[in-house]
Structure 1
């Protein structure tokens, strides 16, 4: 196993304290699995093994968390030669003296074994003889299960200096007191290993599958395993080639519900095998129910049994709207529920739920699953509640299944709504379109409370499919609200707000940001009381509109407030995803990504970032493309692209393709970019932002392929179109990109719009434009400083090159040296004495030819301008390429700053 230091371990060395670890899993899974991350743990354990005065280390954590893997890695990578003796404690043999070390005693006489001192001397001599000068290390698994004689022998060998130890334990508080005493006196170092976090779990899965894993697949595997390495390995085996398949170069998740793997279901049965029957029964009920209100649990089991299960670490009381008891580890609960037979599940349901009020208190999804498991019918009201719950949690495949049971969606408008939402949110637009046709008759005679949600579900589906009738459906929803006299005032207000927010969202998707702004502000003016999801949806739409128009400072303030609420509140999955997409766009486009990444908890290394959808990963990849390098961007964009080809609920695939093609173009790999063009073409139903950003990326790619003047002209036209639309921030971006490609004809428009737009990015663009316009190296260096402060290294490089060009054009070598020094201090990765300064090695004629080539002229056109033959130009270009160590015009163009004036 090769060490991989990229994971961030959450293990820690602890001061002496009692531990009450819960019952662990001991699944019959492979002992060996890819070693990923935990570099800090490795270093700390290696230090504990080699530090003078230390007798070794003990690693504490649940079964399968990776304790043994760490021990094996430490032993394999040790810098000194070791003699390793492996010992394993066994729960079933704790009462048999020396059972764990009997292989060390096999050559001793029977009377020797009866005297501990003689055993100690004999085993010590044996270890010294076998070690032959090497350090002896006792690697002991499950130290709490050692029989007393074996534990005492190991303790004495350590105290006598014969051997060091590397111990693993699930519950070190239950270990032999002598070994625990070594920890208390500080000679034995303790490390508590937590399960993998989401980032480590994704890296583990990628190592196991030998390829990148999409965000959706990684999130599924993390939920299935809880980050436990062995259960993660079992989950991978269960879904590989079924629910998780190789698509392109990435392991992606296919739509549908994934059951608990059989290996996990069988493994977790061991958790309960030693419990009394009464405790097993309440554990089975809680596993099937997911959570039980505490009073209900007390009606099934005694307080003593519940206390025993809590103190053993199996169950925990959660304080939400009502006190409830559930499994501390949801993976164990799900595994136990899956392991129960249909008959036993039915018996438990009949005994404790059927005919009581308990069913009304259960989680609707778990209640429905319980009934399905024991092959009982699921009432329509419960199906509706389960589908709503699953949609809210982002389990769209499960929601579609609940709504489809018994064709309930054909007779209930409310169930049809949940099915349409589920199919739309998972990207199954064709199935959703068929569902919309089947649901149309349900509108006849339906109340506004039923009809309006169905109409709104159809609105978003129609837009995604690029169909007409969106405005008509919204108008009909409003008409039904006003004409239904039987609708309560609270329901009317809630539904009216839903309609206004839906109009604003459609306006945003169409790029009509002023309209979206006015719609949301109308809710504020009316003093509408919005629910949590309504409030977040409305505020993020308003923040987006302000950012795209000319009110960026208010947009950022509101974005901060929304970002904070997303971390604190229970928000529906779709609301959260759309909020993240829009907030990432706001922070990035205004030049405030550092602030936004912190607010959204999307900083580098944040494990929670990998649990977001591929649409969000795409947005993060775009940010990396702007603020980082193409390689960093592609590492995020490529897996997102492969997953989006399977399902694209937000219709962002063209943007992903354009972004990847742009990254390849930056790296001068045009061949890799060409296959993506078929996916980069926008279609009806794609959001305006997707089409708009994709267009700009495509033009920038063209600019990298020796056609800067043409790309710059098209960017100018794009910026003017944005300005007419009122999308000032995008107009600013387009004009600035045109100037960075060498166009000076748009400087006045750029300066005018930059003066009206707020925020750090606008200030950067305005400063850059001023420096280019006046050929002022000092002002261009100020632009470089602003770009560096905002983390925009790409813009910083362009500003630095332009500053160097301006200084050279002025003919002042002292100024050139000063500029080079400034650039070196601010942009450490840009070498001012490197490629750009090599332009000085060109002859005046070569420099002129190179400038014409960068400007987009073909060899024949350059020959006509220079009044020489094409062959002569080809010879000059060969010399230019050789001197500058480049191999193409696009690489040559990178050495030339934007022309000034």
Structure 2
């Protein structure tokens, strides 16, 4: 499928052809954008100086000879005496007044032309008297003279394709004037299938009723868009008049699709199904050994569902559910389909079916559906198993009070050790990651462990402790607990999955990412069989990505993040988590503006889920750092304030990265010395917890800020932490400490090999400064050019090192920092407070810097440093 830009280039080339056909036929279904594409081609022709004559054929003009051209022809004279002159005079009227660039004659909806108008167009093409552009609707009958235009190859024919999802994104952001959430774009695209006319109706209606609204700077669908009357009319026109039999086929599929051909024909009749397929209303596809039918366009179902009454819909669901049961429903998802159909039908509820279906929905990540099915199962008598699904789903979806009540009910229903442990795991999970009450969760686990009497029954409690310890920054305890579960030989799939999460967390942060693979695979395999913890696949993958990112395996981390997002983007909160994972890895690769886009989208969408799983906290850490690196200092401070308000104790292992986010914002403010101090604070925090991979990241951040004191520590860590990041960071720090520009440049190439382009840019920038300071101008310019190119690949990222290289000045690091703060509007007292020195010291540095720069004007400081002066940072910001 070609994109709209390629289609426009094709049209332009066809209209300029000198040897072949001169013009083009744009064909396509109603609403795909033929008229819009033709309008762009008309505008381009006008810019080239062509005279444009444009007509639109309609059903009302069709009975009139030359009706479509009535407004363009003027007075043609007395044709009663000279009928043979009608077409020549009409042609002359259309060609009159043409300049050297010629005439473009266009007809929209040319399939509606009367015979005489069609003949006129055909003759103009054959004579090559004008460039001709016409649009026709695919599948509609047209005059022979029109069809001859492409059948005889007199004109090129282009099948105009519906907009791609990316083109819909571009169009929506242009119309709405801002970033549109990708999950919302995907939903709209799936509904309209790229049809511009349908898209406009959907968007207009969604904006009008606030289903599509702007939240935290991102446009997103807060609820499904409604089918407007205008859209109903458009789709009804497309469907045409339906026989009663075909309407029955459409209605059955509108209630539930896809359906196997055998089942559908049994419900509606084979002739009706074949008729619906022949008319293009139903499409038939192969899924393994099954041949299935679905509606050819999603909006057919939307329109018919809006028209079907509740009683008829219930009757249809009952018939489909019964037919599915009669066929055996052998696939896993058949159970889910049957159960969903029975919810709003007249079929008697089967608690076993409802529980099995709810467990399947939970495995697929559709928690709202799992909750709905679970509640129905409770009413039908599903007991503890049904209540467990309700409690678990409510814990994720809230509200907290309701979830707490459901969990309490689950505990009361527990009849043996296995059910007691299951209830305790559910409650402790809820307390840790939903309510951030870690200490209370540990009490719940202790109390449950004290009550268990059956040997081995308490293994899931140990496994959950491993997972909690891993994410609390207790890697040694997490590893010990996880291994005791994994080596036991009798652990349940749920226990194995939780233990693997804890072990992978420990390996990730302690610098042993090379050992994660088998445990990730084992946990993922257990998740496929898990009845209640399948959603823990996400933290397992997120922890794996963290480990790969910290180790410097950035390509692998990015690939896994993209794959994960593709799998979860259609489930509640999955799209937002996917945005975080992709945004985090894009940031690690240095693509800062792309990262900001993903992370902003994730942040906006995750808001309605509150602190579920701690994903908001993780997203805010990455977003704060990304905004600082993208040069959006104000946005970074806003995100940092948001981050301070939403720290999640259940994800304490990320605290060093939170401190580093603060360090980057502080450095972006110009207080690089304080940024270095914060990087060391992050390293000390991580070191106390044994998170050596985070220590590497923090100390390397200090080196990127210009700290020459970390080389020895990083050299030691390079022998303790696996992966390419640690040795590359150690080499960078050693070169900086030795003031060796050549070694800095070599370190830049090593960092680039890991995929960390922004660190590579910093090392090259520092090399450029060192070489130029030593009057090695050729080497300095080479390094500076490399730094500039890498910064460009990082989408214009800004760092302290790049800022110095871009604006080399005869200042010491300290003088430059003080001048930078002064240029940002801080008073001498504020600078002194920020740097914890005396005002007199600041005055001395400013005096010497002013002498070197030849000015005392702080606005000129800003010009020299390339800083846009703004309001000064508030007291304490960045501290």
Same-fold call, TM cutoff 0.5? yes
Q: 1: distance between equivalents of 2:512 and 2:841? A: 48
Q: Cα 1:409–1:458, aligned 2, differ >3 Å: closer, same or farther?
A: farther
Pick from 142, 162, 178 the counterpart of residue 211 of structure 1: 178
Offset at 1:768? Answer: 0.6
Change (3 A) 1:543 1:674: closer
- The answer to which of 177-186 and 415-424 deviates more is 177-186
Picking from 386, 408, 420, the partner of 1:437 is 408
Query: Are the counterparts in 1 of residues 672 and 817 from structure 2 also a CA contact under 8 Å?
Result: no
Deviations 1:236-256 (A, max 9, x none): 2333354333333223444x6
Residue in 2 aligned with 1:300? 267
Contact 1:410/1:416, CA 8 A, preserved across alignment: no
The size of the alignment, in residue pairs, is 833
Say if 1:342 and 1:217 are closer, same or farther in 2 by CA, change over 3 A: same
Find the aligned partners of 2:151 and 2:561 in 1 and give their Cα distance: 41
Q: Measured at CA, do residues 427 and 203 of structure 1 come closer, stay the same or move farther in structure 2, by a change above 3 Å?
A: farther
The answer as to 2:397 corresponding to 1:419 is no
Q: Name 1:591's counterpart in structure 2.
A: 552
Matching of residue 679 in structure 1 with residue 647 in structure 2: no
Q: State the Cα distance separating 1:283 from its structure 2 match.
A: 2.2
TM-aligned CA distance change 1:397 to 1:874, over 3 Å? farther
Preserved CA contact (<8 Å) 1:218 1:610 = no
The correspondence for 2:42, drawn from 60, 68, 75, is 75
Shifted more, 372-381 versus 217-226: the winner is 372-381
Q: 1:798 to 1:610 in 2, by over 3 A?
A: farther
In the TM superposition, residue 692 of structure 1 has moved relative to its aligned partner by: 3.3
1:737 is displaced (CA, Å) by 1.4
Change (3 A) 1:213 1:629: same
1:463 paired with 2:432, answer yes
Structure 2 residue runs of 5 or longer lacking an equivalent are: 793-799, 822-830, 870-879
Distance between the aligned counterparts of 2:150 and 2:497, measured in 1? Answer: 51
8 A contact 1:58–1:189 mirrored in 2: yes
The verdict on how the C-alpha distance between 1:543 and 1:158 changes in structure 2, with shifts beyond 3 A counting, is: farther
Q: CA deviation at 1:134?
A: 6.4
Runs of 5+ consecutive residues of structure 1 not aligned to the other structure = 1-9, 13-37, 485-491, 892-901
Q: Distance in 1 between matches of 2:495 and 2:99?
A: 73
Residue 111 and residue 744 in structure 1: after superposition, are their counterparts in 2 closer, same or farther (change >3 A)?
Answer: closer
- Pair 192,580 (structure 1): closer, same or farther in 2 beyond 3 Å: farther
Q: Where do 1:193-212 residues align within 5 Å?
A: 193-212=160-179
2:855 to 879, 884, 894: 879
Post-superposition shift, 1:753? Answer: 0.7
What are the within-5 Å matches in structure 2 for residues 67-146 of structure 1? 67-78=34-45, 79-80=47-48, 81-88=50-57, 120-129=87-96, 135-143=102-110
Greater alpha carbon shift after TM alignment, 734-743 vs 341-350: 341-350
Q: Distance in 2 between matches of 1:153 and 1:508?
A: 78
1:341 aligns with 2:341: no
In angstroms, what is the RMSD of aligned CA positions?
5.1
Change (3 A) 1:356 1:854: closer
Cα deviation digits, residues 684-705 of structure 1 (max 9, x gap): 4442344332221112323444
Tell me if the contact between 1:654 and 1:694 (Cα under 8 Å) persists in the aligned partners: no
Spell out, residue by residue over 1:572-592, the C-alpha distance to the aligned partner (whole angstroms, 9 max, x if none).
Answer: 994665466445434433333
Pick the aligned partner of 2:8 from 29, 34, 42.
Answer: 42
Q: Name 2:616's counterpart in structure 1.
A: 653
Matches within 5 A, 1:811-826: 811=774, 813=775, 815-825=776-786
Contact 1:99 1:147 in 2 (8 A): yes
Stretch deviating more after TM superposition (502-511 or 875-884): 875-884
Give the C-alpha shift of residue 752 in structure 1.
0.7
Alignment pair present for 1:63 and 2:27: no
CA distance in 2, matches of 1:260, 1:714: 53
Give, in angstroms, the shift of residue 824 of structure 1: 1.8
What secondary structure is seen at the aligned counterpart in 2 of 1:63?
coil
- The whole-number CA distance in structure 1 between the counterparts of 2:596 and 2:360 is 35
Q: Which residue of 2 aligns with 1:245?
A: 213
Alpha-carbon offset, residue 202 of structure 1: 3.2
- Structure 1 position 318 matched with structure 2 position 309: no
Shift of 1:183: 3.8
**Matched residue of 2:8: which SS?**
helix
Kept in 2, the 8 Å contact 1:638–1:660? The answer is yes
Q: Distance in 2 between matches of 1:143 and 1:155?
A: 11
**Cα deviation 1:494-533 (Å, max 9, x = unaligned):** x9998787555434432344555666667775678998x9
For the 8 Å contact 1:456–1:477, the answer to whether it is kept is no
Q: CA deviation at 1:118?
A: 5.6
CA distance, structure 2, for counterparts of residue 480 and residue 291 of structure 1: 49
Deviation at 1:782, TM superposition (A): 0.6
Q: Measure, in 1, the Cα distance between the counterparts of 2:11 and 2:81.
A: 33
Deviation at 1:781, TM superposition (A): 0.8
Q: Secondary structure at the match of 2:855?
A: helix
| TM-score, length of structure 2 as denominator length | 0.78
1:406–1:118 distance in 2 versus 1, CA, 3 Å: farther
Structure 2 distance, partners of 1:149, 1:196, is: 34
Q: Partners in 2 of 1:147 and 1:118 — Cα distance?
A: 18
User: In the TM superposition, what are the counterparts of 1:171-320 in structure 2 within 5 Å?
Assistant: 171=138, 179=146, 182-183=149-150, 188-240=155-207, 241-254=209-222, 264-265=231-232, 267-313=234-280, 314-320=282-288
- Distance between the aligned counterparts of 2:328 and 2:813, measured in 1? 81
Give the CA deviation at 1:780.
0.9
Higher relative contact order (Cα pairs below 8 Å, separated by 6+ residues):
1
> Aligned partners of 1:520 and 1:629: how far apart in 2?
36
- SS of aligned partner of 1:466: coil
Q: Is the 8 A contact 1:391 1:421 kept in 2?
A: no
CA distance in 2, matches of 1:632, 1:726: 32
1:162 shift after superposition: 3.7
Deviation larger for 303-312 or 869-878: 869-878
Measured after TM superposition, the shift of residue 95 of structure 1 is 9.3
Aligned equivalent of 1:894: none
- For 1:26-45, what per-residue CA distance to the aligned partner results, in whole angstroms no more than 9, with x for missing partners? xxxxxxxxxxxx33332232
Given that residues 626 and 792 in structure 1 are in contact (C-alpha distance below 8 angstroms), is that contact kept between their aligned partners in structure 2? yes
Contact 2:212/2:225, CA 8 A, preserved across alignment: no
Supply the distance in 2 between the matched residues of 1:396 and 1:199 (Cα, whole angstroms): 29
User: Residue in 2 aligned with 1:11?
Assistant: 2
